[in-house]
Structure 1
Amino acid sequence: MTTWLYPIGFLFLTLLGLQTPATDRTHPSPATGRFVADTANRPDENRFTKTVLFNDLNEPMELAVAPDGRVFFVERAGKFYMYDPAKKKTLLLHDFPVKAVEKYLNGLLGMTIDPDFARHPYLYFFYTTQDAGLTKQRIARFTMAKDNTLDLTSEKVVIDFPIDLEVSAHTGGSMAWDAHRNLFISTGDNTVPFESQGFAPIDAQPGRLVYDAQRSAGNPNDLRGKILRINVDLDGNYTVPPGNLFPKGTPMTRPEIYVMGCRNPYRISVDTATSIVYWGEIGPDSGVDGPQGPRGYDEFNQAKKAGNYGWPYFVGDSKPYHQYDFATKTVAALFDPAAPVNESPNNTGAHTLPPVNKPMVWYPYGKSDEFPQLGVGGRCAMGGPTYHFNPALKSATKLPAYYDKALFVYDWMRNWVMAIRLDDQQNYQSMEAFMPKTGDFRRPVDMEIGPEGSIYMLEYGSVYGIDNDDARLVRVDFNPGNRAPIAKIMANDTIGLAPLTVAFGNGSYDYDKADQLRYSWQFENEKTGTVAATPTHTFRKNGIYKVRLSATDPAGRQDVDTLTIRVGNTLPQVAIATTDNKTFFFPDQKTLAYNVAVADKEDKTIDKKRVNVALNYIPKVADNNPQIGHQQFSASYNLGKSLIAGSDCKACHQVAAKSVGPAFTEISKKYRDDKTATAKLANKIITGGNGVWGEHAMSAHPQLSRDETTEMVKYIMSLGNEPTAAKLPQSGNVDLTAHQGTDQNGRYILTASYTDGGGAIKPLTTTETFMLRPTRIAAIEATDLHNMERQGRRLGGAHDQSYFALKGIDLTGISGVTYRYGAKDQGATIEIRTGSPTGKVISTVPYTTTGDWRTFANVRAAIQPTTGKQDLYFVFLKPEDPKANLVSLESITFEK
């Protein structure tokens, strides 16, 4: 994850009626009394409900939930909000005039409330300000008035600390309390990371102050790159409690430091039961190990006591960097985690540092060997709260005992939330995803447990640095008892002419299977609904109707589904026909003969102006995507586009608008005349980089292959001058030469649509798509595999009677196929059968050994003349040795 990201989140749920409690799925340990999670019986995910409380936010940062349920939260630009649960409304309480310049990524970064807020309604804000011409970070206290207004005259400055505004990356900004009125404050290292190639920013050359994190995170006499711990009294003054890293009076140190050696501890939490501090550490950007040291890692850290966590000399599980001379590019010895020394001339503090503590969890851009469940991609670790189950708390929505003592952590880039389990000594034990299927987290940036035991979350929104439509405050509630049913209308006929009789199906269900559902249907705004499970209704007048089905369980919980029925028009009929092959284009094929037939019951004459026909050529589709294959294909499909949509690129880039990174269209324009751009940019996506578009670094993506990043770049480069397909006549011969001279692994998409005149209601459109693919089909695109498997880019593990299928293949004009295969020591026979594995045989060919699975040969097989589309089953035969491993099949090529 790049070094400047920071987000936040929040969540609300309508209170659920508490029904008969579900069986407790935890049990207390006899030795400790701790609730021990039974992971085999974790609560069903459908027992959690996520509700959006407020969705009109811009860069939300941090939140706090009051004992009475009010939720306070802030935006980076200065806005301070309160969500009122009684009125279910969000109020803007104040707009702070903070220093929130976009370039510098500062502003109103965090907030918290007094730990005894019910008696002392104090709020604490972390913001950037200018005082006597100096820019600084400030923690200030304000009083909340009884009328839900902020008393601006009550401001009390608690603590200030410096900031180099020309950098301002790595701000920290989070605050949390322990049970002893100790306030913990996270601060970033405030260092330019981009000219150290994603490694340690320890450039100590003259004039390079802001490129040296040794002046901040590695400096015991500086409050940046730290987690501070101070005790704040009721007057807003602070003292330093005992137990911090440097006792008061230690020369060349600051006593407020509890944790040092942090890069950007953006979100922290404190378990008030243990006073243990947790935080997510956003790590550096290198995707690979290099001469300067290890690749970048994000971390989830735990401080049971004060300590040094290593940055900028160590990363991940205390992997050391090399001492490095940025002037001469000379690599020296590794730093010693047992006895680190800060010899930078920019260090104003003690040179000998405390030994380094290892993180609890660490993970790179690629797959983590230690924590594979964390996935791959961009990184932005955030530390969340520890949940304590209270059996005496009367709440219908509190998290279950299953999550007792679970530490919730989350990743802004990867959009997941994890529950970390600790043992009785508070050491890492395991982790599991929280709401992995239904959470739909939109870059969570802060997370708290409310007084009723629900989760509140701020979600930053999809794209960094802009006003996202999905930036919001949310709440997650748990339902321990009866769940509402799910209503679902089913119908085959939803469009037609009056009188239109529709037989409705009912797909409603209930998670609590003992429930018997009651139904009520409303078809035309009837006052009394039909109670049959699957009724039939006749709509006698033209119009657009919203059919409504309510499903109610015996406890009265209800769900509603609606379906639109359109009466007074029918869909037009569009069909694309050709006398050529309907599956393949051939290497030497130059044209396609086609005809588009259109019919419509209501339009006496087809308006040719409403018939749209267009041909597009998609240059390359990956062999290794069986979901797209030769059978399923969208007219808008583009491999590079799909890879980008599935990656973290969209967090920092938009197609046409600038975000923290440049728009894809601008990248395309910049490199359109650079013949080396594709290879250069494809490599940059893998390794990461910076400096071309400004100071922000791009994440490395080592989990992507060169082929994948090449396709992503090809898509980006196409956006600068994306061609529009010309409109074609309804019939004729269309040019098919775009594939010639290319890799011939693209697709032609012929699209035809017609919009009718509307009939008695509104116009309706029908679109048909006709796709042609190359004659070579990668074996892994096959379906219906029996007794064989996909092995990377090939099919293998076949034995006698193993088979696979290619469905919907037009054999018109096809005379044979060529198999590309490897066979180590066994020859066999391949049959092609139509319709099923026991259908008519239309091709048979024996093949011989190649001597090795990686040595490939071609064998051609004739096909009996066959017309029309067929489901083809390829059957392997070796009856004399049925257990033999027969083939590594790479491709099947159909021949004219």
Structure 2
Amino acid sequence: MFIPFIKYSLSLGLWLGLTTTPTDWIPQRQPATNPASAFADTLNRPEENRFTKTILSNDLNEPMELAVAPDGRVFFVERAGKFYLYDPVSKKTRLLYDFPAKAIDKYLNGLLGMTIDPNFNQNHYLYFFYTVQDKEQTKQRIARFIMNDDNTLDVASEKAIIEFPIDLEVSAHTGGSMAWDAHGNLFISTGDNTVPFESSGHAPIDERSGRLTFDAQRSAGNPNDLRGKILRIHVEPDGSYTIPEGNLFPKGTAGTRPEIYVMGCRNPYRISVDPTTSILYWGEIGPDAGTDGKQGPRGYDEFNQAKKAGNYGWPYFVGDSKPYHQYDFATKAVGPLFDVDAPVNNSPNNTGIKNLPPAQKPMIWYPYNKSEEFPELGVGGRCAMGGPVYHYDANLQSTTKLPAYYDKAVFVYDWMRNWVYALRLDEQQNCQSMEPFMPKTGDFRRPVDMEIGPDGSVYMLEYGSVYGIDNEDARLVRIDFNGGNRAPVANAIATDTIGLAPLTVAFTGDKSQDFDKGDKLTYAWRFDGNTATSTEANPTHTFRKNGIYKATLTVTDQHGKSSTDAVTIKVGNTAPQVSIQTGQNRTFFSPKSTPFAYTVQVSDKEDKPIDKKNVKVVLNYIPKVNPEPQMGHQQLTSTFSLGKNLIAGSDCKACHQLAAKSVGPAFTEVANRYRDDKTATAKLANKIIIGGGGVWGEHAMSAHPQLSREEATEMVKYILSVGNEPVENRLPQQGNVTLNQHVGKEQLGRYVLTASYTDKGSLVPPTGKPKTQLALTKTDLLVLRPTKVLGSEADVLHNVTRQEKRLGSIHNQSYFVLKNIDLKGIDQLTYLYSSKDKNATIEVHTDSPTGPVISTLAYTATGEWKNYKEISTPIQNPGGQHDLYFVFVKPETPNRDLFSLEYIVFGNQNVTSSAKTPATGK
């Protein structure tokens, strides 16, 4: 991905989990090769439920950067020019000033950053990074202002500290972040201000005449230009600045700028400086190539560390200093690789010295696809941001500060992937490990800035779900740590939440949790619009009138901390009953084209007779589902389009909406443009995978090499269908349908037969509101899967490892489970397996690992893990649907690493299996 002002490309994202994928056929996961990919020792890691995320200010519009004053006031800015103050005393946010910043969407600049002076308590200085237009020249300005005692900004106090011109035609890659070191030096990040197009996502080093803005050698690679850099200056009291010792080029060196601390940056969008060591950290947002090409390597984002001044390589190197080729954009001739130890800038657009410092390597680098070195960072769009270094202060009187566990951790985050990681350093400040921060409960919404406050809490600006609009979930949040007593978690449960008056409901409250063992809990229930109460944990209450009610439960511990939950009770109707009946197998469909007979039975206590117009029966085919683990019924109910499902679970919504324009076109616009283009599906699927631009204006779409051709094709099919969805093909309540959509395709799909009925309802008066129609819908679902089941589709694993499509690391008493299996018409199992040197037995039990045995297979070793073999064995049908437990038995030692399972075929001895494949093991 990316946000255009950050990365200048778009994204169609990913719907893939962080799965364990083997590097070859060996059925054990191979260890990571990079030490930083190992997780830190987590023995003392604080429980995630000790962190609380609180929204301080909501419904912002493109928030950019924040700063927290020593007294807890939070200052932050929006790109359009607004400067805000959050007051922790009044808990309110107010606008302080609207900067006349040039923030037109096309140019992607504006009010980009802010910081607070280290001596703010004495001088009240604030610094802002914003875009100004002076006569006919557009510039980036870093200016200082004074904050008045009455919480107003002294606009007349502005002093322009440093300015530099930008090329407005592109003005992408802005940088805009600021930070301070322990010596009072100000660091300023700037982007390369270069058009990334027509470089195929590689190095933009186009030296042709008239192509100035397509050449990053004029900016990031130019020692005499302030763009594509991280500057370091010392601001003096009068608003001038001096140059600290140790910058990259000594003052007075011809063809250089002394302000430069780091050069060779593409877009160092967020930076931070360790307040103790003065070491600089930043996230580098990299180019868009999804694969290596003739011009050089694919794109990588980076997390960088500079212990001293240096050249970090762009546009000649990317990732861990992987070199690009010299390239003639006129002739398309590929030249030699740039020399990482002695890069030379021979561009006619370079105004500085030609011989550049050697390129430095980043701490961490990762592409769109899975990183070999850092696989835990995932796959998909990229947008690396450098966050703060935390230093634990035992003397700080704060009940919310991060614990000592995170002492000296460097926090980094990714705008696109919505995660935060804590990096661990050794005594030499080298990165040794990483671990996710609040991976389950963080609910990060495109984090765009992150700071540690004076109270030791985390303050974060979240940009919101979609680029370029006023997101409802754009917000300022604070993350607090609770090292003491935690509030209980109320859990209100009710049976019979729907029925006719008088309706007696049994409520359960004692399933509420308290993470602090031994706390005594008290319960307070309220019913009937709070006219009835109970202090029992599990009370009953009778609702005597029709209506819609909310029963609330408040649970309080002996320390006075509490939480509330609620459950809705609907009185005045009963739900209909819907069931799909069939005399055929309810789990599997035949590999061949076959008819399926069904009957939908509907009953309702109030509806006499059943209104057949409200009975809805639909059959859908999903050509492929995520094989790890088996997709559940709820997921299948939510969508019957693989493409829609892929998009819904991806980062696409960051740049695209269904019908409204964001930075990228609305899906309805795409559908309208390509509706009559018969080549559109293949063309657009390819574009999603390899990236590209130029059709919808200035913004490019990033590559997605992690997507398969089939996945990209299904996404395109859904996009092209938007706004022109076909009329739903409803089926009769009883009939036969032919299952043939899977024929000739890889059998990873599912048939989903859905039956639903919405009753006539009744008018009920909700408490204090006008009457409403209480109509109820009931749905039944029948999911038919292929008879060939991949090992990775197992629903439950016990002492077994999932490895892409197969299962491995199987030992004595290991087992896996396939749930809700109907064996009607099935009397044989066929396994494709390998076993290096151990014979053992597989027992199939029903409903538990010690349940009745319905199949036994004594298998023999295949000699090598890569040698796969098919073997069949009988299975008995116990009737009905059961969970099948596949238990591996070998009591005598050695009895570890017994088996690697590729797939199982559920078949009939009288029918030849069509699932057999060459036993290559690949």
TM over 0.5: yes
TM-score by length of 1: 0.88
Deviation, 1:152, is: 3.1
User: 1 CA distance for matches of 2:630 and 2:877?
Assistant: 29
C-alpha spacing 1:804/1:110, structure 2 compared with 1 (3 Å): closer
Tell me the residue number matched to 2:423: 420
Deviates more, 1:304-313 or 1:159-168: 304-313
Q: 1:830 to 1:83 in 2, by over 3 A?
A: closer
Query: Closer, same or farther in 2 for the Cα pair 1:477/1:783, shift >3 Å?
Result: closer
Q: 1:706 to 1:881 in 2, by over 3 A?
A: farther
Distance 1:212 1:551 in 2: 63
The alpha-carbon distance between structure 1 residues 425 and 578, as it changes in their structure 2 partners (threshold 3 A), is: closer
Name which of structure 1's ranges 703-712 and 91-100 shifts more when overlaid on structure 2: 703-712
Partner of 1:561: 565
Q: Sort the Cα spacing of 1:616 and 1:194 in 2 relative to 1 into closer, same or farther, 3 A.
A: farther
**Candidates 814, 817, 830, aligned match of 1:819:** 830
Residue type of the alignment partner of 1:299:
E
1:538 and 2:550 are equivalent in the alignment? no
Q: Deviations over 1:312-341 (max 9, x none)?
A: 122222222222222222222322233222
Number of the residue aligned with 2:612: 608
Partner residue of 1:100?
103
Give how far 1:572 is off.
1.8
State how far apart, in whole Å, the 2-side matches of 1:230 and 1:592 are.
Answer: 76
Bigger Cα displacement from structure 2, 725-734 vs 170-179: 725-734
Q: Does 1:336 align with 2:336?
A: no
Cα shift readout 1:486-510 (whole Å, capped 9, x = no counterpart):
1112222222223322222221221
Q: Which moved more, 1:271-280 or 1:837-846?
A: 837-846
Counterpart in 1 of 2:256? Answer: 253
Query: Equivalents in 2 of 1:432, 1:871: separation in Å?
Result: 36
SS at match of 1:194: coil
Structure 1: give runs of 5+ residues left out of the alignment. 8-36
- 2:606 matched to 1:595? no
User: Of residues 138, 151, 159 in structure 2, which corresponds to 1:148?
Assistant: 151
Counterpart Cα distance in 2 of 1:110 and 1:631: 44
- Aligned residue runs from structure 1 range 463-862, under 5 A: 463-505=466-508, 506-524=510-528, 529-586=533-590, 591-609=595-613, 611-622=614-625, 624-628=627-631, 633-634=636-637, 636-672=639-675, 677-719=680-722, 721-734=724-737, 736-739=739-742, 745-759=748-762, 761=764, 762-783=774-795, 790-795=802-807, 805-812=817-824, 814=825, 816-817=827-828, 819=830, 821=832
- 1:776–1:669 distance in 2 versus 1, CA, 3 Å: farther
- Give yes or no for contact 2:447–2:463 (8 Å, CA) kept in 1: yes
- For residues 249 and 853 of structure 1, the distance between their equivalents in structure 2, rounded to whole angstroms, comes to 66
2:780 is aligned with what amino acid? Answer: E
1:4 aligns with 2:4: yes
User: Which residue number corresponds to residue 18 of structure 1?
Assistant: none
Percent of matched pairs sharing the same residue: 69
Tell me the equivalent position of 1:202: 205
Amino acid at match of 1:821: L
Q: Point out the more displaced range, 628-637 or 721-730.
A: 628-637
Quote how far apart the aligned CAs of 1:190 are.
Answer: 0.4
The match for 1:234 among 216, 234, 237 is: 237
Report the Cα distance in structure 2 between the residues aligned to 1:779 and 1:47, rounded to whole angstroms: 37
Number of aligned positions between the proteins: 865
CA displacement at 1:219 relative to structure 2: 0.9
Change (3 A) 1:112 1:575: same
> Alpha-carbon deviation of 1:212?
0.8
Q: Check whether the contact 1:60–1:75 (CA below 8 A) recurs between aligned residues.
A: yes
Taking structure 1 as reference, are residues 174 and 829 closer, same or farther at Cα in structure 2, changes over 3 Å only? closer
C-alpha change, 1:149 and 1:772, in structure 2 (3 Å) is same
Residue 845 to residue 530, structure 1, CA distance change in 2 (3 Å): closer
Query: What secondary structure, in the 3-state scheme, does the structure 1 residue paired with 2:248 have?
Result: coil
Amino acid at match of 2:227: R
What corresponds to 1:225 in structure 2? Answer: 228
Separation in structure 1 between the aligned mates of residue 364 and residue 791 of structure 2, nearest angstrom = 40
2:750 alignment partner AA: R
Contact preservation (8 Å) 2:422, 2:435 = yes
Structure 1 residue 892 corresponds to structure 2 residue 905: yes
Amino acid at match of 2:600: V
In structure 2, the partner of 1:379 is 382
1:740-792 Cα offsets, whole Å, 9 max, x none, are: 56556543333222233334632222222233344444344344567866554
Which AA in structure 2 matches 1:398? K
1:885 is displaced (CA, Å) by 5.1
Render the CA deviation track for 1:390-421: whole Å, top value 9, x for unaligned: 23322221222222222222111121112223
Distance change (3 Å), C-alpha of 1:689 and 1:760: closer
Shift of 1:127: 1.4
2:365 maps to: 362
* CA deviations over 1:607-626 (Å, ceiling 9, x no partner): 334x2313132240247333
Q: CA deviation at 1:445?
A: 0.5
Between the aligned partners of 1:654 and 1:86, the Cα distance in structure 2 is: 38
TM alignment of 1:379-398, pairs within 5 A: 379-398=382-401
1:533–1:697 CA distance, 2 compared to 1 (3 A): same
For the aligned residue pairs, the C-alpha RMSD in angstroms reads 3.5
Q: Does 1:128 align with 2:139?
A: no
Distance 1:681 1:154 in 2: 53
- Aligned residue number for residue 17 of structure 1: none
Cα deviation code 1:84-121 (max 9, x no counterpart): 22221111223323222212211111112333223333
Q: Is the Cα contact below 8 Å between 2:107 and 2:168 reproduced in 1?
A: yes
- Larger CA deviation: 845-854 vs 242-251: 845-854
In the superposition, relative to structure 1, how do residues 838 and 891 fare at CA in structure 2: closer, same or farther (>3 Å)? same
* Equivalent position SS for 1:128: strand
Looking at structure 2, the residues matched to 264 and 345 of structure 1 have their Cα atoms a distance apart, in angstroms, of 23
Matched-pair contact (CA < 8 Å) for 2:6–2:285: no
- Secondary structure of the residue aligned to 2:692 is coil
Mean CA deviation greater in 271-280 or 854-863 = 854-863
Name the CA distance, whole Å, in 2 between partners of 1:888 and 1:38: 32
Change (3 A) 1:861 1:664: farther
Match of 1:21 in 2: none
1:54 is displaced (CA, Å) by 1.4
1:449–1:835 distance in 2 versus 1, CA, 3 Å? closer
Give the counterpart letter for 2:601 in structure 1.
Answer: A
What corresponds to 1:85 in structure 2?
88
Instruction: Name the TM-score, length of structure 2 as normaliser.
Output: 0.85
| Aligned partners of 2:639 and 2:645 also within 8 Å | no
Once the two structures are TM-superposed, the CA of residue 263 in structure 1 deviates from its matched residue by 0.9
Shift of 1:229: 2.0
Q: Which piece of structure 1 moves more, 776-785 or 488-497?
A: 776-785
3-state SS of paired residue (2:637): coil
Q: Is the 8 A contact 1:630 1:773 kept in 2?
A: no
Q: Is the 8 A contact 2:755 2:780 kept in 1?
A: yes
Partner of 1:14: none
Q: Deviations over 1:639-668 (max 9, x none)?
A: 333333443333223333333233344444
Q: Which residue number corresponds to residue 301 of structure 1?
A: 304
Q: Which residue of 1 aligns with 2:769?
A: none
Asked if structure 1 preserves the Cα contact closer than 8 Å seen for 2:340 and 2:359, the reply is yes
1:827, 1:676 → 2: CA distance?
53
Distance 1:391 1:839 in 2: 56
